[in-house]
Structure formats: C-alpha cells, structure tokens
Amino acid sequence: MGMLETVLRGTRDAGRKLFVPYVTGGFPGIDAALLRDLAEAGADAIEVGIPHSDPIMDGGVIQQASRIALEAGTRPADVLATIHEAAIDVPTAAMTYVNPVYRIGYERFAAALERGSVSGAIVPDLPVDETGDLNAAAQAHGIDVVLLAAPGTSADRLAAIGRTSHGFIYCVATYGVTGARDALAATARDLVDGLRPVTDLPLLVGVGISSPDHARDACRFADGVIVGSALMARLLDGDRAGAVELARSFRDAVA
C-alpha cells in the first residue's frame, strides 16, 4: 500500500468523502502554485495528466488542453518536475496512456514517478489482464496503480479489478469520454454497488461530474469524486481563480 492508498483509506475511514481534482500538466498556468492552491482548496489527492496525442478517454475540453500542452513542447519529465516543485502534502497521481509508458519502460516510468514525488499512476487503456509488469515495477517504487471500472463490466472482471487495483478504483460514471453531462448517470451507482462486495478500496466516481450537485449526489453512494473537465474548462478560459473557487465548491459539496 503506497501513500495514495494510505491517505485515501485513512480519510474515508474517518468518515470524510474524497475530492480529487484533475488538471492537464503542461497547459499554461498549470504550475506548482496552482497545485498548491488546489491542495489548499481541500483536495484529498490531485490527478495530473501527462498530455498524449491520442487521449482516447478524454472529451473535447481535455483534448484541447492536451493539444496546447504538447504544442508548447511539454514532455513527461516536465509534468513530473512541476509536481515535485509543488511539494504538496496531499498525494498526486499521474494520468497518461500506455504507449508513452511502454516507450519509457515500466521500471523507468515508475522510478521517474517516485523521483517526481508522485504516488499513483492511472493508465486507462491498460486492461487489468496486462497490468502485471507495471504493477510489479510500481510497487517496487511505492507507486499505486489505479485501475478503472466501467459500466457494463462483468462481475468476474470487476472482481479482478478489485484484486489488482491499488490506491482507489476509478469508477467511470457513464459510457463515453470525459466531459460535462446534464445529470449524474444512473450507471454510476450500479457500478459502485457491483464493486462493493469485491473490494475494500475507496471507490471514486469520475467522468461527467460537472457540478457540485453531481458530486453531492455521487457521494451518497460512492466514497468520493474525481473532477476534471469542469475545472479545465475554467482554465481554458484563463480563469485560474475561478477554477480554484470551483474546486472549493466541489469540496464543500462532498464534505
């Protein structure tokens, strides 16, 4: 159990719901100071995206942010340097895709995360059946590999995800990519209910958590929420202060 899981379990077991904001590393204005601001706004952990040219899980907002970051020359090492510079007390998880991780090499990637003060890795296009090498390398460096579970996943596969994930389980609320939704999908509760019998990990709902009301609704059955596009939309508009204030609103909604 790494720092990410230790902290989130402890907070959950103390009776508090979890709030994890996501930001795209390398996007202008997403710097060490912003990560500190998000921590001060009440984040229990922070997910930082390493931009990739084919972000297949992400909708338009995060795709645009990733494109801008890549056009600015952002490399994985730059994102990790920002996290390390922030020196925040809450754990961070790096989110990226399997191609750059495979290219870097699982051992080198895990070692780089450890040097960058990162305690979790989220690789959404790496299926549970193929996580063995990354998990082995990550555990040697104290990194929790967080797996995703999606609506429609079979009971056997949910059990495998429950056994294999570390840190928490990212419960994808609805079919489709990240982005704003008008309402919290009913599939979110079905997914969390399916995972409860097979794991004691914190269960956090993400994808389509567009408002504090959505977050409050999700926390009636889940252990917390992950919020990305709603915050990144403010940052794309250049409204840094508004993004931090929105993060505080999400924190207040799930408290």
Catalytic residues: 47, 58
For residue 116, the SS3 value is coil
Beta-carbon contacts of residue 12 (< 8 Å; ≥ 6 apart): 18, 202, 223, 224
| Gap between the Cα atoms of 68 and 89, Å rounded | 28
Q: How far apart are CA 140 and CA 120, in angstroms?
A: 13
Query: What is the length of the chain?
Result: 255
- Name the E strands within the chain: 18-24, 46-49, 92-95, 120-122, 144-149, 169-172, 203-206, 224-227
Pairing of β 120-122 and β 144-149: parallel
Q: What span, in angstroms and rounded, lies between the C-alpha atoms of 61 and 125?
A: 19
Q: HEC profile for 128-157?
A: HHHCHHHHHHHHHCCCEEEEEECCCCCHHH
